[in-house]
Structure 1
Amino acid sequence: MDILLIEDEESIRDVLKSYFLNEGWNVRETDNGKYALQLIQNFKMDLVVLDLMIDGMPGEDVCCKIRQFSTVPIIMITSKVKESDTINGLNLGADDYITKPFRVKEVIARIYALKRRMDMFTNDKSNAVVTKRFNQGRFVINYTTNEVYVDGRRVELTHTEFKLLSVLTKTPGKIYSRQDLTYEIHGYRNIDVGRTMDMHIRNLRSKIEPDPKEPKYIVTKIGAGYKFDVQPEAQLS
């Protein structure tokens, strides 16, 4: 993998880079948010590891600007530990969120888990027998190209949002708990997912639902989780 490491603390950056290189990954690094954006625009990255307290531009702004032109997976690493900070980071388009202090092996494990999900996407797209397209009437999902259209207009989803929508629509009617969805998306189970998955659902609803406040498609089953409610016009192909 080609990883962009954005971290202002040199000691942490050096340790992470050393471990990443030991895993056989290519690493570009910076402590500056503005320069990080240039790197992402000029080089193909498979993953961004982003600290929030960086020079040049706050990490939140960097994440927001990345999402304007790229769906590259983003893992935020930060000393901000409030739940509201985590929710805000996910709302901006991050795929995962790790707080300091952290164990480097945890970071490595999170990256491998995310990579497994990305590889499964690639394998799914190369498998001719899997469902390639979903037509819900007002929106269309192309699983092969990772494209989603709502009322004829292409909607930009993050990697996590697209994976979440894919899981729900490929098994419509099935109820997934928050823990189940975390496993399907990230490749690991976390009993403390709480509002994190709720925020991903909220972001996804805002992009595909006619009225996100009264969702028609992604339905909450109180005490159980979420399911995709099949509408009469839905077609799988």
Structure 2
Amino acid sequence: MCAHILVAEDDIRQAMVIRRYLEQDGHTVAVVHDGAAAIDEARRHRPDLLVLDVMMPVVDGLQVCRVLRRESELAILMLTARNTEEDLLRGLGLGADDFMTKPYSARELMARIRTLLRRARRAAEVQDEPVDETVLRVGALTMDVGRHEVRCGARRIELTAGEFRVLSVMAAAPDRVFTRRQLLVRTRGANAFVTERTIDVHILNLRKKIEPNPRRPVHLLTVVGVGYKLTDGSECE
């Protein structure tokens, strides 16, 4: 599974360590040390995956993620030295595919990269297949799976890939209660390295986008002690 991987890390020594492990795994690697260079390199050479540090000069990693996610479905693995939920929430909300906190083991880093590359390959293969004509409807919420479009009433909603996967699983079985683990397995696979907290982040961001009042949800409901369910609720604004 050889791939072209871009590493954006301002710590030169750390970047070289990551590069060495990636090259030993058979990948071609480009390394940059600031956010502006990461955006330019990604646009020019279209890597298969971006390993992206949050704290970088010129343009920080969160802004890099925001810019590149608008332009492509490039797989993005974010790294941060700060063990805070704020980074996790913002990174996943901007469309990052995975998140690791420093310090981390090289073994775990490589395992997560392999997982993201497999997922990206499967997504590319699906694009070559006949378009999925499935349209899911739950109350005023409509999901066109093939076109990756979501509407709440007449309003179009922009979702990240992770948010779309979670919502489509729940929309296919309205009123069914899903545990966090079930949603994680159905959207990431049984061997996913991300935590169940990732599901909470996606639910939080989805509520901000589809609920008339995210603090008093009527569509994405919490079932205390179990998980979440999607109901038809009231009409979307």
TM-score norm. by structure 2 comes to 0.81
- Judging changes above 3 Å, is the alpha-carbon distance between structure 1 residues 171 and 4 closer, same or farther for their aligned structure 2 residues? farther
Larger deviation, residues 94-103 vs 77-86: 77-86
- Judging changes above 3 Å, is the alpha-carbon distance between structure 1 residues 46 and 190 closer, same or farther for their aligned structure 2 residues? closer
- For 1:1-237, list aligned pairs within 5 A: 1-121=3-123, 132-136=134-138, 138-187=140-189, 188=191, 193-194=196-197, 196-230=198-232
CA–CA separation in structure 2 for the residues paired with 1:191 and 1:60: 19
Give % identity. Answer: 34
RMSD value over aligned CA atoms?
3.0
Q: Deviations over 1:64-88 (max 9, x none)?
A: 3333433433211121112333333
SS of the aligned residue for 1:205 comes to helix
CA–CA separation in structure 2 for the residues paired with 1:226 and 1:131: 26
- Judging changes above 3 Å, is the alpha-carbon distance between structure 1 residues 177 and 130 closer, same or farther for their aligned structure 2 residues? same
2:209 aligned partner, one-letter code: K
CA–CA separation in structure 2 for the residues paired with 1:175 and 1:119: 30
- Judging changes above 3 Å, is the alpha-carbon distance between structure 1 residues 122 and 36 closer, same or farther for their aligned structure 2 residues? closer
SS of the aligned residue for 2:142 comes to strand
- Judging changes above 3 Å, is the alpha-carbon distance between structure 1 residues 71 and 122 closer, same or farther for their aligned structure 2 residues? closer
- Judging changes above 3 Å, is the alpha-carbon distance between structure 1 residues 28 and 171 closer, same or farther for their aligned structure 2 residues? farther
CA contact (8 A) 1:50 1:75 kept: yes
- CA shift for structure 1 position 143: 1.9
Larger deviation, residues 94-103 vs 37-46: 37-46
Q: Deviations over 1:125-181 (max 9, x none)?
A: 667697722234644322223233344454332221122122222333332222232
- CA shift for structure 1 position 13: 1.4
- CA shift for structure 1 position 38: 1.8
CA–CA separation in structure 2 for the residues paired with 1:232 and 1:125: 34
Larger deviation, residues 51-60 vs 40-49: 40-49
SS of the aligned residue for 2:71 comes to coil
- Judging changes above 3 Å, is the alpha-carbon distance between structure 1 residues 118 and 82 closer, same or farther for their aligned structure 2 residues? same
TM-score norm. by structure 1 comes to 0.81
- Judging changes above 3 Å, is the alpha-carbon distance between structure 1 residues 58 and 168 closer, same or farther for their aligned structure 2 residues? same
CA contact (8 A) 2:4 2:47 kept: yes
Larger deviation, residues 102-111 vs 146-155: 146-155
Alignment gaps of 5+ in structure 2: none
Q: Deviations over 1:105-141 (max 9, x none)?
A: 1112112233444445556666769772223464432
SS of the aligned residue for 1:67 comes to helix
CA contact (8 A) 1:217 1:228 kept: yes
Q: Deviations over 1:172-219 (max 9, x none)?
A: 33322222322333333569534x422211112222233322323322
Alignment gaps of 5+ in structure 1: none
Q: Deviations over 1:37-91 (max 9, x none)?
A: 1223333333221101222212222223333433433211121112333333333
Larger deviation, residues 41-50 vs 2-11: 41-50
1:141 aligned partner, one-letter code: M
